[in-house]
Structure 1
Amino acid sequence: MTLIYFETKKLLHKRLIIIVIAIALEIVLGLLPADHEHPYSTLVYRQYTEQLAGEYTPQKRELIFTRLDEVNNVIAEHEQLLEQYNANLIDLDEFATHNKQYNKAIAEQQTLEYLAMKCESFDSLGTGEFFYDTDWYDLYSYRRYDLLSVLIMMLLIPPVFCNEYSSKMADILRTTKCGKTRLAVIKLSVSMVVMFLLSLIISTAELCTFAARYGLDSAFAPLQSILGCEEYGEMTVIGLFVRSSLMRAFSFAVCAAFICLISVYTKNMLFTFFLSFAACVFPALIAEGKVMSYAFSSSAHNGMYLSGMSVWVFCLICIVKCAGYGVMCVSKFGTIK
């Protein structure tokens, strides 16, 4: 336990403030105003989803399509009524009444068309639920690459082994009772656990910021009720965030183990940094699809949990990778000449 304590202290020494700043930055970024484009009016959409809130029913479907027909009719007859007004065939009051309806119809048309698309999606699924999902959709659609955690990892993990080489302590430690295999295992384990927990903390900060700004009223609504998420099956809205965050945490544990492996082979901080950064960033840029995501754990740093993936299979693969990298790392550290 003493070794674990001192290795954790060494890892976080003088770097804890960087972690705190990173978490604070994550919160600030989450609170910044975002202007995302949508194929509908968010104000009108909120009004309709509040009116229709709850389980999808034939009555709600009829209400949407009836209103959409009314809106389309008002817009279609606008040109004709405008010509009649210009020809003095209708008076000002009649045209003003129509013009008010026309402006309202224009404001609602795209939103009603979007709601009609949701109805068609619910029809194909056989179920559905109306709720205001725009904030959740934006969170998932625009969830960025976890660069903060990657940068923190680049600051924390390479020195774990590289400092022992640069200070010429590696050969001395190898001659001590616990300075060979046991020390290497502890260094490796502490690195993986710290990055696993740090990733979860940053994801939690992201979720808390979202909750403070938008609330979690629809957190346990069915995810497939959001257009574009039909393939996720019976998963809750917040379930997607939890699974994505868990996969990110495991992927950071794998990356930490891989960085430790690189460091015992290169024995150089600069080489370790560049090789590790490339290994953690490039897969996230090129790995697309379920197979590639299973093969390259760091792909989980970018985007969200893919439909059809098994989070448990992904985590199991990560554990196997950690074990493999760990065995090679410990073996190499224990054979220092």
Structure 2
Amino acid sequence: MIVLFEFRKLLSLRFIRITFVCLLALNAILCVYSARIPEGELPSDSVDEFFEKYYSSPEEIDEYHEFILDWQREQEKRIFQQHSLGVFNVEIDELPSVYAPEGFSDSLLFDKLYGSIEKIRGYPENIQRVIDKAEDNLAEFRYMNIPDDAYTCRYQRKVIELYSEARDNVVINLEHIRGWNEYFRYDIVNLFIFAVLLAVSSVLFVQEKQTGMMPLVRVSRGGRIRTALSKIAVLLLITAAVVIVFSAETLLIFAFRLGLSNPANAIQALDDYTYSYNIISIGEYLLISLSVKYAAFSLFALMTAAVSVFLYNYALTFTGGLGVYGLNYLLSVLRYLNADSPLKKLNLISVSSVSPLFVRFCSANVFGGCVGYQILAPVAYISLILLFSVICVCKYCIGGEAARFRVSSVFSSVREKAAANFLMKKKHTAANHRLPSLFSAEIYKTLISSRYIVILLALLAVKCLISYSSYQPSKSFSDGVYREYMTTLAGEMTDEKRQYIADERQMINETIARREKVQQEYIDKTITYREYEEYLKKYNYAYSRNELLADIESHAAYIDRLAAEGNEAWFVYDTGWKKLFLSPFDWTLYAALLILFSGIFSSEYYSRISSGGFAQILRVSKKGRKHTFAAKILTSSLISAVMSAVWNIPDIYFISRAFMLPLYKAPIMSLEIFGESRLELTIIGYIVLFYFVRISAAMLFALTMCGMSCLFEKALSATAVVSSFTLFPALLNRSGAEIFGYADYVSFMRATPMLRKGLAAMLIFMMCFTVMTIAVLMFSKRKWCGC
């Protein structure tokens, strides 16, 4: 009964329904876009018919294939003969298509058919190479006296065992594989499922607290453990429903657009799963993948729910869920993690994709044992699901009123003393009879009384730590040589610099070319050891700088090319500049803006009085409409601009400390990353533009957040909407849907990725977003002011 009530309560939220429907529709659009047949690709029906023809009469197809190969060899021979006679404009005869549809060549059909045949025939040999490599590694480890019970030896033996079984038992049927490769590669759907579950889990436990019903629910019969368990059951059921609906929609669209081949074929028939050791069919893998996805998404939903029972705040819970997703995404893309690292394989992004667990054998060292991730992942995820379920139940049951959002409770006494001192001082000033201005009151309410200042300081501290760890002085030999060359050549191109580069290249080439000759002279004892040692020093110098000088030569050619086009570029040591201008997306600033401004209007609606929200009283008071609205907008603009400026300071400090930032008067196109932008600015001019765009992006984001907070009256709804249209395009763009690059707000906040497309592209994007922000503010003003 409670489960049904909780389920109906969630579905009654318009925000949840709209989010689900919109994301389902967006997924359908992207599926249709992703499942398109590339231009010039053979129609799948024609390929299927050709494969059927081969099944019925393979001798006929093989004979005609041999005829085509002989004909192609004759054509190549004739072309070679004509070229040898000096005739290069040779007309090539074309065979009429027998099996391919009009406009296509039979050779395309034969490539697909015999490519599939070759893959099937070569499968045992490919797997045997894996086994042979493992046996060689095992023999080498034994030669090195590594114990047989060591993890490395256990891993090699496991590889031999599993792949030997796969080699002997996997049977790949010859057929045209349709749809399955594209379906299993389509990971964008996972992003939409994460978003829906983030919205659901953010409100599941918070509703009662925000509406003031928590004390009543907790003292009622079954209001603690049974209610908490019911909420978790509903969350798991909704997770299952969301995974099934989105996956089914995706599968149906791919089936309709591309068709699906026989799911009974072995999974090794798919392009990405050739080296999978699992003896399962494509259909079985489909069911397994849905189960694994369900476990991953359930864990994410419960982790977000666990955040909510500690914070009981919509905006903070939503931001915390985004943080959980962001951390897992970071673990999935970190390059310096070992490919088989548990952090790389067991994060939510990798597990929800499923394929990283199945494309090949990978394992973890568990107390010296070799445990495959296909076993470890379910065990770990089921354990974590149970753990976070227990955390949610326990915290919900024992939290009481202390479970409110009290991140800054330790600072309460300090804040109260500061407020008391402030009031005491006011009594001794001439302004003691005047109320503080709306502007100062809004600043105080936004930062101090809301206690968000503590979160901002914490995020700023995280930002400083990230900048400190990211921008350490380079110890790279290559960068040291590059800095030496660029410092020597710094400035405009001159004839002397051209000669320096030419002399350096000549010296390097001559030194490297003399190597064998000098070695032979030393062997013949025609030169002394000291002379040979001197040569080796020169050779090491030349060899180590050979490729690095090529970079300098390439930059010199780049300068000449721009000069021919009427543009100017210099020699500039640009390592530090590139670090500054290509700094990554600042998620700490994004989170700070999201948290701070999501409640700037919604807090008025949720400040409860007997007849409803406090906004009703505020709006009928003197200056409670236009003046209050203007004060909130002005406050948001000022705070967001200051925050953006402050958040950029750590990057500037640590980069300038670790790297040289020379020649700020040089043209910005001296940095090759701006070669296609055609920006006629100096580096210092670009710095001004760079930070202007960044601060503008932060201000527009904050103002849009304010407007949405007023329109939706709920922090969670405003947070979800704004984060969706600012983050989704970036994530979709990085997932392969490049068309969303034109609506990428993340690139706008980073500034350089947008400016590299050209000043016009950046201005168009800024104007469009500004117009949208103004429209949102106009609607929100109409709602707040009632006019």
Q: Where on the TM-score scale, by shorter chain, does this alignment land: which range?
A: 0.7 to 0.9
Query: What SS does the corresponding residue of 1:129 show, helix, strand or coil?
Result: coil
2:756 match: 306
Q: Does the aligned pair in 2 maintain the 1:160–1:187 contact within 8 Å?
A: yes
* 1:219/1:237 contact within 8 Å kept: yes
1:265 aligns to what? 711
Q: In the alignment, which residue of structure 2 is the partner of 1:326?
A: 777
- For 2:445 and 2:667, the matched residues in 1 are separated by 45
Describe the superposition over 1:84-135 as per-residue Cα deviations: whole angstroms up to 9, x where unpaired. Answer: 4345454433322221111010121122111111111111222432232221
Q: What amino acid maps onto 1:108 in structure 2? A: R
Counterpart of 2:600 in structure 1: which amino acid? V
Gaps of 5+ in 2: 1-435, 608-612
Percent of matched pairs sharing the same residue? 24
When residues 35 and 181 of structure 1 are mapped into structure 2, their CA distance, relative to the original with a 3 A threshold, is closer
The answer to whether 1:12 aligns with 2:447 is yes
Q: How does 1:166-205 map to 2 (within 5 A)?
A: 166-167=606-607, 168-205=613-650
Residue 482 of structure 2 aligns with an amino acid whose one-letter code is Y
Deviations 1:208-264 (A, max 9, x none): 333344354422222212223223433222433332221122222222222223223
**Which residue is equivalent to 1:54?**
491
Task: Give the direction of change, closer, same or farther, for the CA distance of 1:40–1:62 in structure 2 (3 Å limit).
Answer: farther
Determine the structure 2 residue equivalent to 1:31. 468
The normalised TM-score by structure 2 is: 0.39
- Show the 5 A alignment for 1:191-270: 191-214=636-659, 216-231=661-676, 232-270=678-716
Q: What TM-score do the two structures reach when normalised by structure 1? A: 0.85
CA deviation map 1:189-208 (0-9, x unaligned): 32233212311222244223
**How far apart are the structure 1 equivalents of 2:710 and 2:603?**
10
Judged with a 3 Å threshold, the aligned counterparts in structure 2 of structure 1 residues 244 and 114 are, in CA distance, closer, same or farther, namely: same
**Aligned equivalent of 1:110:** 547
Question: Cα offset for 1:71?
Answer: 0.4
Deviates more, 1:203-212 or 1:243-252: 203-212
Query: Aligned partner of 2:699: which letter?
Result: A
Is residue 605–residue 713 contact of structure 2 (8 Å, CA) maintained in 1?
A: yes
Which amino acid is 1:118 matched to?
A: H
Q: Paired residue for 2:590, among 113, 133, 150?
A: 150
Single out whichever of 207-216 and 35-44 deviates more from structure 2.
35-44
Contact 2:693 2:751 in 1 (8 A): no
Q: 1:298 to 1:107 in 2, by over 3 A?
A: closer
- Structure 1 letter corresponding to 2:687: F
SS at 1:243 equivalent: helix
Matches within 5 A, 1:270-285: 270-285=716-731
Counterpart residue identity of residue 306, structure 1: R
Structure 1 residues 51 and 265, CA gap change in structure 2 (3 angstroms): closer
Asked if the contact 1:158/1:259 (under 8 Å) is kept, the reply is yes
Secondary structure of the residue aligned to 2:716 is helix
The amino acid across from 1:10 in the alignment is K
Deviation at 1:327, TM superposition (A): 0.4
Bigger-Rg structure (1/2): 2
- Give the aligned partner of residue 70 of structure 2: none
Counterpart of 1:129, as a letter, is: W
Query: Which residue of 123, 128, 132 corresponds with 2:573?
Result: 132
Aligned partner of 1:93 among 509, 514, 530: 530
**Residue identity matched to 1:149:** L
**8 A Cα contact 1:145 1:303, kept in partner:** no
What secondary structure, in the 3-state scheme, does the structure 1 residue paired with 2:601 have?
Answer: helix
Aligned-CA RMSD value: 3.2
After superposition, what is the alpha-carbon deviation per residue over 1:36-64, rounded to whole angstroms, capped at 9, x for unaligned?
Answer: 99998121222222322332101111211
1:35 CA drift (Å): 7.4
User: Which residue identity does 1:12 align to in structure 2?
Assistant: L
- Post-superposition offset of 1:149: 1.1
> Matched residues in 2 for 1:25 and 1:259: separation?
23
Using the TM superposition, name which of 35-44 and 84-93 deviates more: 35-44
Structure 1 residue 313 displacement after superposition: 5.6
8 Å contact kept, 1:71–1:109: yes
The answer to whether the Cα contact below 8 Å between 1:185 and 1:326 also exists between their aligned partners in 2 is no
Any conservation in 1 of the 2:619–2:785 contact (CA below 8 Å)?
A: yes
Q: Is the 8 A contact 2:575 2:659 kept in 1?
A: no
Is the contact made by 2:576 and 2:656 (CA closer than 8 Å) also made in structure 1? no
Aligned length: 335
Indicate how the Cα distance of structure 1 residues 22 and 199 shifts in structure 2: closer, same or farther if over 3 A, else same: same
Pick which of 18-27 and 310-319 moved more: 310-319
**Cross-structure match for 2:560:** 123
- Structure 2 CA distance for aligned equivalents of residues 238 and 48 of structure 1: 23
Query: 1:223 touches 1:234 (CA, 8 Å); kept in 2?
Result: yes
How far does residue 139 in structure 1 lie from its aligned partner after superposition? 2.6
2:708 maps to amino acid: I
Greater relative CO (CA pairs within 8 A, separation 6+): 1
The structure-2 alpha-carbon separation of the partners of 1:4 and 1:278, relative to structure 1 and needing over 3 Å to count, comes to same
AA in 2 matched with 1:131: V
SS of match in other structure, 2:673? coil
Cα distance change on mapping 1:319 and 1:273 into 2, 3 Å? closer
Q: Does residue 599 of structure 2 align to residue 159 of structure 1?
A: yes
Task: Sort the Cα spacing of 1:202 and 1:324 in 2 relative to 1 into closer, same or farther, 3 A.
Answer: same
- Contact kept in structure 2, 1:164 and 1:170, CA below 8 Å: yes
Q: 1:201 to 1:292 in 2, by over 3 A?
A: farther
Contact 2:580 2:652 in 1 (8 A): no
C-alpha distance in 2, partners of 1:186/1:294? Answer: 33
- Matched with 1:69 is 506
2:579, 2:508 → 1: CA distance? Answer: 28
1:5 aligned partner, one-letter code: S
